Amino acid sequence: MPVVRPPAVAGLFYPVDPEQLAHDVQEFLREAQPCTLTPKVLVCPHAGYIYSGAIAASAYATLRDIAPRIRHVVLLGPAHRVAIHGLALPDADAFDTPLGRVPLDSDAARAIANLPQVIVSGEAHRQEHSLEVQLPFLQSVLQDFTLLPLVVGMASAEEVAAVLEKVWGGEDTLIVISSDLSHYLPYAAAQSLDNRTVIDILGLQQPVAHDQACGATPINGLILAARQHRLTPHLLDLRNSGDTAGSKDRVVGYASIAFVEGEESD
């Protein structure tokens, strides 16, 4: 019997009812602005869908034309619940969501298992939302795909980049970095900081600090990999919870960014 990681935040961050969840995700995708990019990497937010679902959809909508060719997804997100050193693989064979089961990529896991910064930790994955909330979007846009999920803890940008290099793959592989931006600042202050953060990312400038993005560590690793592979980042959406469903007194920032191969950076 396969070992399956059940959903931890269904009913909290997104609907637990499959029909409602599918409807909500499709609505977000329908309302996203059309875009003709063909991304190799997406940076997406990971808050509750009422707050960040529309911003995440701006990224996932770019996959419509290339979805049939994507067979492997590498998903990195920051650790919120468990302090870990390095990047953690799960001790599972599949992840479940209300929309069904996602098989894990055992070949990709084996390819990075011997790296010293890679560990196996079921505990790091058990309650982690930063990866889980991306899955219903992936399930709604893609067809058959396998998943390599990595919770990123205390690690250097170089260690993250080395893992990405091992699993970079070809046009059948998509990389997703899960990160929100600033946390709990007043609206205007958040806009200012988030704008500076996005400028840094678009300019492939790192380090991005953890007060700028909770997923700063995987973002910094991505920036190194993007330089190496000559990716060009494109901002798709930049808003915060004050723009979507929350108070403007203390907001959380969200951005969607697509990294595209074969173009020069500005």
Q: What is the mean pLDDT of residues 109-119?
A: 98
Residues with Cβ within 8 Å of 241's Cβ and at least 6 positions away in sequence, in order, are 47, 51, 52, 247, 251, 252, 254
Structure-token pair, residue 216: 């700063």
Q: How many CB atoms lie within 10 A of CB 91?
A: 14
The reply to whether 126 falls in a domain is yes
Tokens (6 digits) for 218: 């995987």
Q: In this predicted structure, what is the pLDDT of residue 126?
A: 98
Interval 91-104: pLDDT, tens: 999 999 999 999 99
- Domain assignment of residue 17, yes or no: yes
* pLDDT, position 168: 98
Model confidence at 48, in pLDDT bands (50, 70, 90)? very high
Q: Is residue 266 part of a domain?
A: no
Q: Long-range contacts of range 8-11, CB-CB < 8 Å, 24 or more positions apart?
A: 8/126, 8/127, 8/128, 8/129, 8/132, 9/127, 9/129, 9/132, 9/133, 10/97, 10/98
Indicate whether 266 pLDDT > 60. Answer: no
- Of the candidates 238, 231, 233, the one whose C-alpha atom is nearest the C-alpha of residue 256 is 238
pLDDT the model gives residue 164: 98
Query: Does position 117 have pLDDT exceeding 70, yes or no?
Result: yes
Tokens representing 104 are 């894990």
Domain count, the chain: 1
Yes or no: say if 201 and 238 are a contact pair by the CB < 8 Å rule: no
Does a structural domain hold residue 36? yes
d(Cα 226, Cα 206) in Å, to the nearest integer? 11
pLDDT value of position 99: 98
Residue 219, domain extent: 4-260
Interval 165-177: pLDDT, tens = 999 999 999 999 9
The pLDDT, as a whole number, for residue 264 is: 39
- pLDDT reported for residue 263: 63
Residue 265 is assigned to a structural domain of this protein: no
61: domain CATH number? 3.40.830.10
| pLDDT more than 70, % of the chain | 98
Q: How confident is the model at residue 12 (pLDDT cuts 50, 70, 90)?
A: very high
Q: Does residue 116 lie in a domain region?
A: yes
Q: Quick check: is 39 in a domain?
A: yes
Q: Taking residues 222-244, report their average pLDDT.
A: 98
For residue 265, pLDDT over 70 is answered with: no
| pLDDT > 90: percent of the chain | 95
